[in-house]
Chains A and B, each alone.
Chain A
Amino acid sequence: MPSRRRSDRGPAARPAIVPVPVPVVIALVIGLLAGLATMAGLAVVMGARAQQQVQPLVADLSKHLVAITTAFSGTDVLLFGATDGPGDVVLVVRGPRTTKVVRKKARLAGVIWANRDSVTYDNVPAFYQVFASRPLEEIAPKSVLSRHQIGTENLVFTKVDQSVTDSFVPGFRAALVRLNQKQQLYGEGVLPVTQLANRLFRAELHFPANVPTGSYSVEVYLIRQGDVVSAEITPLVISKIGLGAEIFDFAHQQAPLYGLAAILVAVITGWAAAIMLRRN
């Protein structure tokens, strides 16, 4: 009966449907298809999420705080982790963001070398190292590397100020990287990640004695067929601890008082030396 009723209604309703223009139908179909596609996409994403829940990549550091004590002369931190199968592991260690000025010397009056031109960069990581299991260009295409700022050539520095025309800027940018490498603050090329049985990986991070203090991030990327499949960021704090930290805080937070204390220490030491000299 209901079907009949429906068919009864049918003819009555039909005139309403028929006038619907063809383009609208097409639009509806497209909309439906798009909806389906979205749902399918969502399903894929959900699938990926589900996969991430079983964690294709886990990594951790042997320590999350590097303490710079008075006896500090550089330190090693071990990064270790596991993947859920074969794939390339790329590691990026990034120091806190700083502002740096690159200056170029030029001959003054044809005799003396003096600083003349400069370019100021912001967003310069104070420390930067890349670790990978293979050469970067074999792991991922340029677009992927530059999106994640992997490799010194893909770092994005913000130019704040410049005294030269744009055509000279690349030279200053190259110098910025090169001088940081000279101070061992930027890694030269790619440092090794050791992989074991396609599952476990480890890397030795070395921080030199002149390592800048601040909050670091250690980014770990799992790359398959040139795509980043998974990524993890682990924080690392490098800070002064103990007497050195107290002296630094004193010098920066109560600068005038620190100056007076420095003078007092010098006067007392000088006095003591005079007494010692007299005894001899």
Chain B
Amino acid sequence: MQIYLPIAEMSVNVLVILGMGWAIGFLSGVFGVGGGFLMTPLLMFLGVPPPVAVGTGANQIVASSVTGVIAHTRRGHVDFKMGGVLLVGGILGSTAGVWLFALLQRLGQIDLAISLCYVLFLGVVGGLMLVESAQAMIRSHRKGARPRSGAGRHNWIHGLPFKMRFRKSKLYISALLPMGVGFFVGVLTAIMGVGGGFVMVPAMIYLLGMPTQVVVGTSLFQIIFVTANTTFLQAALNQTVDVVLALLLLLGAVVGAQAGAQAGARLKSEQLRILLALLVLVVGGKLAYDLVAIPDDVFTLISELP
């Protein structure tokens, strides 16, 4: 069953898109990540033009983050104050990112920038996660789980001005720090078409020292607004948001997320993290290979917008 996507200007199989949405929803249900880092490369693989894949990806993440935040708020796992500060940085970052996106598109280097960002972040995050979860598994085999403590560390970070108290996160740190993290992730959102959860979550745990249980809900909270801003700007400036494609992906993802959550409940958290780390590394490795390997065709063809 074929459907014509009005913005991507191509015809796709409805079942393929629904299936893709389902698979990504399943993964996000299992691992608690948005799955944008898989969505955008998969869409490009289907032949969706990279700018449309990125713009539509952002739109789809708005919806999945809303779902996630509602669930986390019910459990009281969202630090709204921290989310607000991250958001200020995020809005600035995603605005700068959309502008940078348009600039790179003009220079003809957007494909390279997207690929390089993916390789770099997927490699670093995947590698760190793999090492960390492997260590945790070894530890839990030797003796009982020993929780990692980030509190009590003192370094240059604590000397920064504009200190703020975040009750829910039990932190007293400079507002510049979360704002900087938010800005950085905002730029990534615009260029990579991802929520940035896979960068944001480690940054919140290791850099800001936030308690793990509020991290996911808080990052999702700010991701809603940052991806909404990206969606708006990509739609207004570049006309690259395809609502038909986004809706189809969403329908699949909603169903997949439920199945994923049930499957995730049956797996141990270290095992989950190792699997996620491997998945992240595989995607990153594939993209890295494509950058280095001799391309099938050294020429590419782009329509210039009037």
Binding site for B on A (CB under 8 A): 68-74, 98-106, 111-115, 118, 120, 172, 175-176, 178-180, 183, 209-210, 212-213, 240, 243-245, 247-248, 251-252, 255-256, 258-263, 265-267, 269-271, 273-274, 276-278, 280
Contact = CB atoms under 8 A, between A and B. Distances in A.
A267 B291 contact: no
Nearest to A183: B301
B194 to A, nearest CB: 15
Interface size bucket, B side? 35 or more
Interface string B267-306: 0000000000000000000000001111101111111101
B67 A111 contact: no
B10 to A, nearest CB: 5
Contacts of B303: 98-101
Contacts of A106: 298
Interface of B: 2-7, 9-11, 59-60, 62-67, 70-71, 74, 108-109, 111-112, 116, 224, 228, 231-237, 239, 241, 243-244, 246-247, 250, 254, 257-258, 261, 291-295, 297-304, 306
A130 B261 CA distance: 55
Contacts of A104: 298-299
A231 B66 CA distance: 61
A70 B7 CA distance: 12
Contacts of A245: 6
Given A71-B2, A115-B111, A259-B231, A269 B301 contact: no
Contacts of A178: 299
Contacts of B64: 270, 273
Contact of A73 (B4, B235, B261): B4
A183 B302 CA distance: 12
Given A72-B4, A100-B302, 16 more contacts: A68-B4, A101-B303, A103-B300, A104-B298, A175-B297, A209-B10, A245-B6, A247-B6, A255-B237, A256-B232, A256-B235, A259-B232, A262-B232, A269-B250, A271-B70, A273-B66
A216 to B, nearest CB: 16
17 contacts: A70-B4, A100-B303, A105-B295, A106-B298, A112-B292, A175-B297, A212-B9, A252-B239, A255-B235, A256-B235, A262-B231, A265-B247, A269-B254, A270-B67, A273-B63, A273-B257, A276-B254
B109 A277 contact: no
